[in-house]
Amino acid sequence: MTINVLMPRLGETVVEGTVSRWLVAEGESVQKLAPLLEISTDKIDTEIPSPADGVLLKIHVPAGATVAAGALIAVIGQPDEKLAESITPPADAPAGIDAGRPNSLPGAVSSGGNLGFISPVVAKLAAEHSVELGQIRGTGLKGRIRKQDVLSYLDRQAAAAGPVPHQLVQHQRGVAPTAGEFVPLTRLRRLVAEHMVQSVAASPHVTTVFDCDLAAVVRHRYANRDKFAGAGVDLTFTPYFVAAAVIGLRQHPVANASWSDGSSGPGILLHRGIHVGIAVALPDGLVVPVIRDADSYNLFGLARSVGDLARRARAGQLQPDEIQGGTFTLTNHGTSGSLFATPIINQPQTGILGVGRIHKQAVVISRGHPLLPDAEDTIAIRPVAYLSFTFDHRILDGATADAFVTTVKAALEHWQS
């Protein structure tokens, strides 16, 4: 029995996808859930697993082609199975698409033609780079101009300005470029750069820094990590910071908000759900997968979610919906040795909490006056980290932001369960 492989719908707002490359050739065997191909959309690049065991009998959509969600892209069967001469695409696949020819879709927009529907992502990207969309040939459904079309156009413009240095290949493999060399941005690096510039321009950034005694957290982690590992979960420090941030967001809801320029005037939109994004570093940028309803998880659930999202982010296996809808962001930059930082807000959120490297430090333990010298003062060696909270000063004032971090700090310093 043959199995049809369809272009998946990678998110509610994603209606099409581009086959970046096939990881299995026609005639080769495949295993269920093993990577079958890579797909690119306007929001994310990801691997698609095989839906069944067998042999990849036929590839209907070659690398580079764009088809709608639900379109037939391949057929899987058994080694001795005969492939039908004509396989009818599923009912929800669009008519009129020649899946066998890359970027050959009916109604493609030519220079000066009717642009049709333009997504906000494409419109924003074109405006930021002063691109006339009428100059771009769309490769989406009915000639719709996609984000990849704009980026490809920008790549061609950059290439026309001068030859790409041969050192670029070495640079992308981790070798430092030579002095005076021009290195074009990768797509991910360009998107990160654009988002950072837009964020700083959109809201006034202020950063407040607290030190935090993590002795209670360190003790708890070392006492429980083997138990978590036995259940297949790696207990890192990040889930503790997520849990503490959730406590802070519960007690200070305005930190779980965003700025709104509504029809009735500017205001603050308070979010009901607490959806915490976790910044994950990639070789040429970063991605922020989101733990939805983070306040509904205990420490075990947060640890499992953090580990799963980070692993799939680095493997390029996230779904578009998994990097959207965050209401707050945490970046554990201390994993790379940084003591403290001034992170940039992930728009349109109110703030982002940065956690520095956990390190041993001499701490004064005072049982008397908090500032005056006292005979009861002692010096202890404690694991300490700096918490950097960058916030939108339109929404939070310094006192409210400090109150939020104070709550987070207290949750960590008095961790019990």
- The residues annotated with a catalytic role in the active site are 393, 397
Instruction: Output DSSP code: residue 178.
Output: P
Number of H helices, E strands in the chain: 8, 19
- Who contacts 268 (Cβ-Cβ below 8 Å, separation ≥6)? 254, 257, 258, 259, 260, 395
Pair 341, 356: CB distance under 8 Å? yes
Pair 355, 334: CB distance under 8 Å? yes
Calculate Rg over the CA atoms of the chain: 25
Pair 386, 359: CB distance under 8 Å? no
First to last CA, the chain: 52
Q: Which of 214, 231, 239, 332 is nearest to 294 (CA)?
A: 239
Orientation angle between helical segments 215-230 and 238-251, nearest 10 degrees: 120
138 three-class SS:
coil
- Who contacts 75 (Cβ-Cβ below 8 Å, separation ≥6)? 2, 3, 4, 5, 56, 57, 58, 60, 83, 87
Q: From residue 203, give the alpha-carbon distance in Å to each of 91, 128, 206, 340.
A: 46, 18, 10, 21
217 three-class SS:
helix
How many whole angstroms separate alpha carbon 23 and alpha carbon 27? Answer: 12
Q: How many CA atoms lie within 13 A of 365 on its CB side?
A: 8
How many whole angstroms separate alpha carbon 362 and alpha carbon 383? Answer: 9
